[in-house]
Structure 1
Amino acid sequence: MRIQFLKCHGSGNDFPLIDARALTLTEPEWAILARLLADRGGPVGGDGLLALVPGDDAHAFGMRMWNSDGSEAETCLNGLRCTARLGFDVLGLDAAQVKLKTSSASVARDPEIAPGVVTIRTLVGPNSTRAADVGLVGAPEAVIDARIEGLPNPRRFTAVAMPNPHLVTFVDAVDEDELVALGTWCEGRPALLPARGNVSFVEQRGPQSLFVRTFERGVGLTDSCGSAMAGSVLSAALTGRVPFGTPIEVFNRGGMVRGQAEADRRVMLSGNATFEGLFAIEADLAGGMLGTPVLIEDRPAERAAWRNAVAALR
C-alpha cells in the first residue's frame, strides 16, 4: 500500500504524521506500521507515529499516536500540536476540540514563539494525581514530592497522569545514566508499575524556567516529550516551586515551549509544530517492509526557522 506522510516535529520530538481519516487498518496493522515508520534504523525514523483521525459530535477531529515499539500512547503533546496543525489546515480551522485515546484536548493557533515558527497552543486536563491513575500499584492515594517504596531510586517523585503516566523528580543536575537506569527498570513492567511509565528529571533554572530530560515509555531517552513537559509544569506547581497560573519557559534538548499550570490541574503548552516535508512510501505490512520515501513537497523555510529559533536559545 502507498502511504503519504508528513515528517514533522514538536520541540525536536519528530514523527511521521498520516492523514488517516479515510484509512482503514486493523490494530495489529497500525502497530506494524508504527514500528516500520518510526524505526530509527529504517528509511523514515521517528519517536512514534501520528495519525489524524475522524472526530465526533464533540470533536472536530481526533489523534492517535503509537510509540516506536508499536504500543499506543494515551497522548503525546508535541505530536498533538503537529496533528492539530494538520487538522486546522485540512478543515480550515484555527481552534478545535480534539479527541485523544482516553481524553480530550483544546487546541488553537498561537502567536509565533520565534519568527517563521508555526505555533500551536494545547490545553489538557484536568489531570490526575491519583496513584492508581498513574498505574502505581500499592502506593498511597497520591505521590507528591515523596519517595516511592519499591522504586529502585531514593529520590522524591511526583506522580501525575496526563493522562499517560509520569514520574517527575527535581534535581540539581540531570544524571542521564541514572535516568536511563530508572527508565529501563520501568520498561520492564515491574509489579509496582505494570503498565510502565515515563520518567523525567527536571532542573529548575530560575523562578519561571525548567529544563526537562525524559526517558519515554516505549521510546527511551528522547530530546523532547510534550506530556513530560506538561507533567513537569504541573509538578512544579503541585510542589510549590512555581505558583499555579504562572507562565513558565520549559527547555529540553529539542528546544523550548511556553507552559502554565492552572489551579484546576489543567496545563497549557504552546510550542512549534514544524512540517519538514511531505513524502510518499510503499508499505508492505504483511512482509514488514518499507520502500524508499519519495519527497513530494519540501519545507526548507520551516526547517531554517526552527534552526534559527534553537540557535537563539543557546
Structure 2
Amino acid sequence: MTLTFYKYQGTGNDFVIIDNREQILSKNNTKLFAKLCDRKFGIGADGLMLLELPENQEDDFTMVYFNADGNESSMCGNGGRCLVAFAAFLGVVKHKATFTAIDGKHHAEIKNDLVYLQMQNVSEIEKHDSYLFLDTGSPHHVAMVEGLSDFDVFTKGRKIRNGAPYFESGSNVNFVEKKNGNHFAVRTYERGVEDETLSCGTGVTAVALSMHATQLTDKQEVIIHTLGGELKVTFKQTANGYEDIYLIGPAKQVFKGEIVC
C-alpha cells in the first residue's frame, strides 16, 4: 500500500499527519504508526495524527493522536495546533475550528499565521517541595532548575518519568528556568517519545500555569522559550482554578510525501 502523508511542525515538535476521513488506516495498526515515526526506518516524527470525520454536528473533525512508540496518547497541544493548520489546508475549516480529541472538545482560531488552541480548564495544581504536578490534557511534572542550557534533561527526565509516584503510567517532565518578568525557558522529556523534544505544547501550558500558581509571575500571559521556538500561553485565574487557557504559536507544513507501507 502506498500512503500519502504530510509532515508538520510546531516549534520543532514534528508530526506525521494523515487524512483518514475515508478510514484508509485502522487505528489498531500501532506497529505501522511506530514505523512511520521512526527516524531511521520511516518518515520520522515525535508523533502521528489522524484527521477523521467529526462524531457530532458541533465539530469540524476528530483528532486521533499516537506517540512515536505507536501507542495512542493523551492530548498533544502542538499536535492539536498542527492539525488545525492541516484542516485549514484541506479546506475542512477556514479560520476557526472545533474538534474533539482524547481529552474532550477544543476550539481553535488561526490569526496572523498563528494557531490559538483552547486547552482544557485546570482545576488542580499539586505543589510539592521540589516540583509541581498538573494535568493539561497530559500529565506534567514541573521543576525549577539552574543552568538549563547545560542540564542533563534526558537522564534526569527519564529517571523522574519512570520513578515514584508515576512508575509505569509515567509523566512528562519539564525543567524550567526563569529568564525575566513573564518569560521562562523550558526543556521537556516526553513519555511515549522517551526523549527530549524541541517543544511540548501541553508542557508549555503546564509550565505557564505553574509559574503563575507559584507567583513567579503575576501576568496571565506567559512567554515560553523552547529549543524549537517561542510559544505564548494566556489564561484567566478563577475561583475554580484556571480557565480560558490558550496555547498560541506557529504550525507549519514541512512537506507532503508518499511512503510504501
TM value normalised by structure 2: 0.90
Aligned to 1:125: 120
Cα displacement string for residues 220-275 of structure 1 (whole angstroms, at most 9, x for unaligned residues):
11111111111111111111112252x22211110111222321423211111100
CA contact (8 A) 1:10 1:82 kept: yes
Distance 2:252 2:209 in 1: 25
Q: 1:186 offset after TM fit, Å?
A: 4.4
Aligned to 1:270: 248
Aligned to 2:58: 58
Q: 1:19 to 1:251 in 2, by over 3 A?
A: same
Q: 1:235 to 1:109 in 2, by over 3 A?
A: same
Secondary structure of the 1:249 match is strand
Secondary structure of the 1:59 match is coil
Aligned to 1:88: 88
Please identify the structure whose Cα radius of gyration is greater: 1
Distance 1:260 1:121 in 2: 10
Of 126, 143, 159 in structure 2, the residue corresponding to residue 143 of structure 1 is: 126
Aligned positions of 1:109-258 closer than 5 A: 109-111=110-112, 118-129=113-124, 143-144=126-127, 146-147=128-129, 156-174=130-148, 176-177=151-152, 179-188=153-162, 192-219=166-193, 220-243=195-218, 245=220, 247-258=221-232
Cα displacement string for residues 196-215 of structure 1 (whole angstroms, at most 9, x for unaligned residues):
11000011101110111000
CA contact (8 A) 1:95 1:107 kept: yes
Distance 1:188 1:169 in 2: 16
Q: 1:281 offset after TM fit, Å?
A: 1.3
Distance 1:9 1:70 in 2: 18
Cα displacement string for residues 254-306 of structure 1 (whole angstroms, at most 9, x for unaligned residues):
011122232142321111110011111111xxxxxxxxxxxxxxxxxxxxxxx
Q: 1:251 to 1:273 in 2, by over 3 A?
A: same
CA contact (8 A) 1:128 1:161 kept: no
Distance 1:95 1:62 in 2: 14
Q: 1:196 to 1:11 in 2, by over 3 A?
A: same
Distance 2:123 2:35 in 1: 33
The higher-RCO structure (CA 8 Å, 6+ apart) is 2
Q: 1:98 offset after TM fit, Å?
A: 1.6
Secondary structure of the 2:237 match is coil
Aligned positions of 1:5-16 closer than 5 A: 5-16=5-16
Aligned positions of 1:29-48 closer than 5 A: 29=29, 31-48=30-47
Distance 2:27 2:95 in 1: 31
Aligned positions of 1:13-28 closer than 5 A: 13-28=13-28
Q: 1:196 to 1:2 in 2, by over 3 A?
A: same
Q: 1:183 offset after TM fit, Å?
A: 2.5
Distance 1:11 1:98 in 2: 22
How many residues are paired up? 253
Aligned to 1:259: 233
CA contact (8 A) 2:95 2:111 kept: no
TM value normalised by structure 1: 0.75
Cα displacement string for residues 34-61 of structure 1 (whole angstroms, at most 9, x for unaligned residues):
2111101124101111121222223211
Distance 2:26 2:43 in 1: 22
Cα displacement string for residues 98-140 of structure 1 (whole angstroms, at most 9, x for unaligned residues):
20112222110122xxxxxx321111110242xxxxxxxxxxx
Secondary structure of the 1:262 match is strand
CA contact (8 A) 1:78 1:226 kept: yes
Q: 1:187 offset after TM fit, Å?
A: 4.5
Aligned to 1:302: none
Structure 2 unmatched runs, 5+: none
Amino acid at match of 1:17: I
